[in-house]
């Protein structure tokens, strides 16, 4: 069994490789080559533009790939979604596909786009969206760098994806409408999903990738404490289920282990120390599988 897997090149490439590494796969790509290699003989990876991956999956050129819901929606690809992976270039937040205009332009909504020129990479998504709103506009394909098109006077508005909005603000643009909220998806062709070997591989991959995503927000914390302080310390601790409590050789003391968020650790460690905990050790997690 060989799974042909599309990896998004460009802004998502490094984040995708990092996620796979936490999940247990190591990808390498030479700076002079677009052909990555991975330490799994059952996977044949290919670096592709995320815009192209849905179509290649639908047509069976590759078996599966990681791409955004935005590009799946834009090309209308008929693919099977294996799982959602909430990561992007800078954060674990979804991206938004937005309609943006120059600040102070007086354009306030998609209704104001009647007869206007819109520059975007999302031509089909934008055209469908405006058609549903009953708006007739001139939607033109742009090879990236849409933010400068309004200042250059070649577009009245743009439709782009944004994670933080910083690029839009830097170009004195404002969002007037959100067309779509998007996250990364692991998708495959219907033929691949119908293949028992490939389906099992994809299901296993989804479990491990989701586990790595879960672990990105969490850390482990272990500590010792006097048995007499047990109830006070346990009252301070959150956990996925319940903290693990183990006896020590000296029955006057206990060992406790818990999984929690980094933000919680920041607040809890001083309180735990004051309550009598000692030997506190915080450690990173690679996967948390519910």
Close Cβ partners of 13 (under 8 Å, ≥ 6 residues apart): 7, 47
Longest dimension (CA), the chain: 80
Distance between CA atoms of 173 and 99, rounded to whole angstroms?
10
Based on the fold, state whether residues 206 and 229 are members of the same structural domain.
no
Does the residue 290 lie in any domain? no
Dump pLDDT digits (tens) for 12-52. 899 999 999 999 999 998 777 778 999 999 999 999 999 99
> Residue 70: its pLDDT value, please?
97
> Residue 89: its pLDDT value, please?
60
Q: What is the dihedral of CA 156, 93, 17, 26, to 10 degrees?
A: -170
Based on the fold, state whether residues 163 and 40 are members of the same structural domain.
no
> Residue 80: its pLDDT value, please?
98
Q: Is residue 36 a contact partner of residue 61, using CB atoms and an 8 Å limit?
A: no
Q: Is residue 39 a contact partner of residue 97, using CB atoms and an 8 Å limit?
A: no
Structure confidence at residue 207 as a pLDDT band (50, 70, 90)? very high
DSSP collapsed to 3 states, 138-178: EEEECCCCCHHHHHCCCCCEEEEEECCCHHHHHCCEEEEEE
Does the residue 33 lie in any domain? yes
Distance between CA atoms of 190 and 57, rounded to whole angstroms?
9
Q: The domain that contains 268 carries what CATH number?
A: 3.30.70.120
> Residue 240: its pLDDT value, please?
56
* Bridge partners for 244 per DSSP: 257
> Residue 228: its pLDDT value, please?
92
Question: Under DSSP, is residue 46 helix (H, G, I), strand (E, B) or coil?
Answer: strand
> Residue 35: its pLDDT value, please?
87
Structure confidence at residue 239 as a pLDDT band (50, 70, 90)? low
**Whether residue 235 has pLDDT greater than 90:** no
Where does residue 59 fall: left (phi above 0), alpha (psi -120 to 50 degrees), or beta otherwise? Answer: alpha
Question: Under DSSP, is residue 104 helix (H, G, I), strand (E, B) or coil?
Answer: coil
Average model confidence (pLDDT) for the chain?
A: 93
Final residue in a domain of this structure, among 162, 191, 215: 215
Q: The domain that contains 176 carries what CATH number?
A: 3.40.190.10
Nearest in space to 227 (alpha carbons), one of 252, 249, 247, 209: 252
Distance between CA atoms of 4 and 1, rounded to whole angstroms?
10
Distance between CA atoms of 59 and 120, rounded to whole angstroms?
25
Dump pLDDT digits (tens) for 47-90. 999 999 999 999 999 999 999 999 999 999 999 999 999 886 65
Does the residue 85 lie in any domain? yes
Dump pLDDT digits (tens) for 133-154. 999 999 999 987 899 999 999 9
Q: Which domain holds residue 158?
A: 95-182
Based on the fold, state whether residues 134 and 260 are members of the same structural domain.
no
> Residue 144: its pLDDT value, please?
77
Q: Which residues of 15-38 are buried (b: 16+ CB within 10 A; e: fewer)?
A: bbbebbebbbbebebeeeeeebeb
Structure confidence at residue 8 as a pLDDT band (50, 70, 90)? very high
- Determine if the pTM surpasses 0.75: yes
> Residue 87: its pLDDT value, please?
81
Give me the residue label for tokens 């929606």.
73
Which of the residue ranges 97-101, 256-260, 264-268 has the most confident prediction, judged by mean pLDDT? 97-101
Does the residue 104 lie in any domain? yes
Q: How many domains does the chain have?
A: 3
Does the residue 68 lie in any domain? yes
**Whether residue 107 has pLDDT greater than 90:** yes
> Residue 177: its pLDDT value, please?
97
Q: SS3 helix, strand, coil % of the chain, rounded to 5?
A: 30, 30, 35
Based on the fold, state whether residues 173 and 193 are members of the same structural domain.
no
Dump pLDDT digits (tens) for 165-175. 899 999 999 99
Structure confidence at residue 91 as a pLDDT band (50, 70, 90)? low
> Residue 241: its pLDDT value, please?
60
Question: Under DSSP, is residue 270 helix (H, G, I), strand (E, B) or coil?
Answer: helix
Phi, psi of 255 (to 5 degrees): -110, 135
């Amino acid at each position: 069994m060989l799974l042909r897997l599309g990896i998004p090149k460009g802004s998502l490439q490094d984040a995708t490789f990092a996620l796979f590494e936490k999940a247990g796969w190591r990808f390498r790509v030479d700076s002079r080559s677009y052909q990555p290699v991975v330490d799994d003989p059952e996977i044949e990876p290919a670096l592709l533009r995320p815009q192209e991956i849905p179509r290649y999956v639908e047509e069976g050129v590759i078996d599966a790939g990681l791409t955004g819901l935005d590009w799946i929606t834009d090309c209308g690809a008929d693919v099977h979604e294996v799982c959602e992976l909430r990561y992007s270039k800078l954060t674990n937040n979804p991206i938004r596909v937005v309609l943006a205009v120059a600040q102070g332009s007086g354009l306030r909504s998609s209704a104001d786009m009647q007869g206007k020129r819109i520059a975007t990479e999302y031509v089909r998504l934008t055209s469908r969206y405006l058609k549903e709103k009953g708006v007739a506009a001139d939607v033109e394909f742009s090879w990236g760098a849409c933010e400068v098109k309004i200042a250059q006077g070649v577009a009245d508005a743009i439709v782009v994806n944004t994670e933080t909005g910083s690029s839009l603000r830097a170009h004195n643009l404002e969002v007037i409408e959100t067309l779509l909220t998007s996250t990364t998806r692991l998708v495959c062709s219907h033929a691949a999903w119908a293949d028992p070997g490939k389906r099992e591989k994809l299901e296993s991959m989804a479990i491990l990738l989701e586990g790595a995503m879960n672990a990105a927000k969490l850390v482990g914390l272990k500590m010792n404490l006097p048995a007499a302080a047990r109830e006070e310390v346990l009252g301070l601790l959150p956990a996925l289920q319940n903290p693990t409590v183990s006896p020590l050789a000296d029955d006057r003391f206990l060992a406790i282990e818990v999984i929690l968020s980094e933000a919680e650790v920041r607040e809890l460690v001083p309180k735990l120390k004051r309550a009598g905990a000692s030997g506190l050790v915080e450690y990173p997690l690679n996967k948390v599988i519910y």
